[in-house]
Chains A and B, each alone.
Chain A
Amino acid sequence: MTFDYAPAPESRAVVDLASSYGLFIDGEFADGAGGGLRKTVSPATEEVLAEYTQGTAEDVDRAVQAARRAFEKWSALPGAERAKYLFRIARIIQERSRELAVLETLDNGKPIRESRDADLPLVAAHFFYYAGWADKLGHAGFGADPRPLGVAGQVIPWNFPLLMLAWKVAPALACGNTVVLKPAETTPLSALFFADICRQAGLPKGVVNIVTGDGSTGAALVAHPGIDKVAFTGSTGVGKAIARTVAGTDKKLTLELGGKAANIVFDDAPIDQAVEGIVNGIFFNQGHVCCAGSRLLVQESVQDELLDALKRRMSTLRVGDPLDKNTDIGAINSAEQLSRITELTAAGEAEGAERWSPACELPGSGYWFAPTLFTGVTQAHRIAREEIFGPVLSVLTFRTPEEAVAKANNTPYGLSAGIWTEKGSRMLWMASKLRAGVIWSNTFNKFDPTSPFGGYKESGFGREGGRHGLEAYLNV
């Protein structure tokens, strides 16, 4: 006899959604300049959650001007005073974290378990960490008196809407910059709630401005002559377009782009821990993670054992209602993303890789994709080369550490990598050979505001987090 889990839904009553949202410019919510309204839907149910404003170039201009006006006073504040605003924001985020977690899950489709236990604690931690830097910038190693850049234009993705906001806004404000931020088209709501947190914290008007909209809004922001810095997290394709846009200007640029991380498992690795790490590496947040461990490189001698254990573990993953506290894998963020994942997995099969998914029932409405494993993958396959950004793992094998390094580095990306081995000397050797910005050894997908994060090669440039993350917002 089997026992079924009883549903354990988180209440959505903690979130008070308005039917329609304006833009947050100069400390006020205001209507847009005629770009119209868009709808944001819950990817789990396709229910329309709210309408929000399509920002136009005119709106972007108003926001940049507001940020420019605010910059003078904000940058002139003693660092200790700026710090206190950021500490306030961190505290209010902690107070409202349940509400924000539910909101994030509604709008993004990610499991409440993850928004509650991963996203929100990290969001608060980032503000808390960078708050403390605001009055210590002279000690950051960039000279005695580093200065802010001015107005930062920030464009963030839909996979971690509030966390990416925190990564961008906290260091920018700590360094004395003001910001105009454009959240992603499919997940604008938590940024608008953050605007309300700025109000509660008494943040001076114009220091943070939120302009919602689609890619055209982001393009208008990046191209605006009144901004001094561009920070973007998203796809490598858009990152390249942005790099072309800022060419020949004085705008400072940081880019956090795609990845195709190798997760490398040696035959001496603790198999059960490695399996947990592999699952966390690729199925966390539905695989909508730029640093996801999407290429599993397993040493040939343990391939069968590892894959058996991995399949067993994948069979226990619960896919479904993201608001259910037992859910491991939520909804794919949008219909568009679902079709991209579907197309790439079809290419995997067409190119001869073997596809496997555990038996799992997917809900009838909403956007869903079962956790998927491909074996028999070669380095030439599209599923081994292109970022899928979904719960799809490609398995390759190797025999020697040298071969593992060669295969792991055989990608234009260089964001992250994983190493699973009990042998310390081998781990350190591997870590030094892998061309990637973050190496997780005997663990995966760990984040912390004190720890720099960012890529090599086509995964972008600059670092976010830690002391290194300050550089992006200072005149150094």
Chain B
Amino acid sequence: MSDARLGVLKTYKLYVGGRFPRSESGRVYEVTDVKDRWLANAPLASRKDARDAVVAARKAFGGWSGATAYNRGQILYRVAEMLEGRREQFVAEVADAEGLSKAKAAAQVDAAIDRWVWYAGWSDKVAQIAGSSNPVAGPYFNLSAPEPTGVVAVLAPQESSFLGLVSVLAPVIVTGNTAVVVTSERAPLPALSLAEVLATSDLPGGVVNLLSGRTAELGAPLAAHQDVNALDLTGADADLAKELQTAAADNLKRVLRPRATDWSADPGTDRLLAFLETKTVWHPMGV
């Protein structure tokens, strides 16, 4: 009898401000596996969705950047815990999205879970690595400390739908930035499912906002947005990267240019450091 049971399909939605809206445009696009079989209809986010996501990210920035590093680290670790519990779901989604065998997809998901754990450990160490006490020639206490740069718009890698996504997202938020992420255009489903994990991981709403849709269509308003502080162009091709970088010059966004990356390799600190400012405080010293 059970053979006759029809499975329940999921309606995939965006993740903005801790909620799961459909695109305000009402649009969806067809997501297929590598053999062109229909998997789901993903929301085709609009420019308005992108702007809403920036508003949500800005709203969340004060609380998230003001949280203790200990707290942020635990929340990133909590993401790993939640993912571990839903490992099989993600293995299936990544296998579908990228046309991988179950074993290869499992390796991707395991690496992504481990990456959350690795970055979780950075939250309370990055200030010690990137900061400094400066021996100025005079009676001053002088200290440099890293601070998050603000709202970071991330164009996630196109090919690595999950490990790549996690590899660009975790370093942005662990230091206190908030993120608006445009998922892989062709393979958005693992990212949209990650939103369900983030929503149940004590991560405050708005810290991460996930938009599925056309990378170029969503990249343009994000690169031009005056309230976006930094731009990660990993998921852009050379022409789009140049166009968006030019737009980003308008309010001097920090830009991380696209470059070939092996997502399975151990990450260094450059993605962490790319979205930090250095603040230097001087105070006289004396009795």
Residues of A whose CB lies within 8 Å of any CB of B are 125, 141, 143, 236, 239-241, 243-244, 247-248, 250, 255, 257, 412, 427, 431, 436-443, 446, 448, 450-454, 456-458, 460-461, 463, 466-468, 476
Contact = CB atoms under 8 A, between A and B. Distances in A.
Nearest to A439: B281
Given A243-B249, A439-B280, 12 more contacts: A247-B246, A248-B245, A437-B277, A446-B138, A446-B140, A446-B282, A450-B136, A451-B282, A452-B134, A456-B279, A466-B132, A466-B134
Contact of A248 (B129, B132, B246, B251): B246
Which residue among B248, B249, B250 has the maximum number of chain A CB atoms within 10 Å of its CB? B249
Contacts of B268: 143
Given A236-B252, A457-B252, A466-B132, A451 B280 contact: yes
Given A247-B242, A458-B252, A468-B144, A441 B283 contact: yes
A247 B137 CA distance: 38
Contact of A451 (B144, B250, B254, B283): B144
Given A244-B246, A247-B245, A457-B229, A125 B280 contact: no
A240 B132 contact: no
B7 interface: no
B284 interface: yes
Contacts of A463: 278
Contact of B254 (A250, A437, A461): A461
Secondary structure class of chain B's binding surface, majority of residues: mixed
A248 B129 CA distance: 31
B281 A441 contact: yes
Nearest to B141: A441
A189 B266 CA distance: 50
User: Taking each of B251, B257, B270, B277, which has the highest tally of chain A beta carbons within 10 Å of its own beta carbon?
Assistant: B277
B136 A451 contact: yes
27 contacts: A125-B137, A141-B130, A241-B249, A243-B248, A248-B238, A248-B241, A248-B242, A436-B279, A437-B278, A437-B279, A437-B280, A438-B279, A439-B280, A439-B281, A440-B282, A443-B282, A446-B136, A451-B280, A451-B282, A452-B280, A456-B149, A456-B277, A456-B279, A458-B251, A458-B252, A466-B134, A468-B278
Contacts of B245: 243, 247-248
Nearest to A246: B245
B85 interface: no
Nearest to A448: B136
A452 B270 CA distance: 19
Given A460-B252, A466-B144, A441 B134 contact: no
Contacts of B257: 250
Nearest to B257: A250
B280 to A, nearest CB: 5
A248, A255, A454, A460, most chain B CB atoms within 10 A: A248
B74 interface: no
B284 A452 contact: no
Contacts of B246: 244, 247-248
A451 B252 contact: no
Interface in B130-166: 130, 132, 134-138, 140, 142, 144, 149
Contacts of B284: 442-443
Contacts of B149: 456
Contact of A255 (B129, B132, B252): B252
Contacts of A250: 257
A240 B252 contact: yes
A254 B42 CA distance: 39
B147 to A, nearest CB: 8
Interface in B211-256: 229, 238, 241-242, 245-246, 248-252, 254
A73 to B, nearest CB: 29
A247 B140 CA distance: 39
Contacts of B251: 412, 457-458
A239 B252 contact: yes
A460 to B, nearest CB: 6
A290 B140 CA distance: 22
A454 B140 CA distance: 19
B35 to A, nearest CB: 35
A330 B270 CA distance: 44
Nearest to A239: B252
A294 B210 CA distance: 40
B252 A467 contact: no
A240 B250 CA distance: 6
Contact of B280 (A248, A255, A438, A442): A438
B270 A476 contact: yes
B227 to A, nearest CB: 11
A244 B255 CA distance: 12
A448 B242 contact: no
A300 to B, nearest CB: 25
A239 B253 CA distance: 12
Given A448-B137, A466-B144, A247 B249 contact: yes
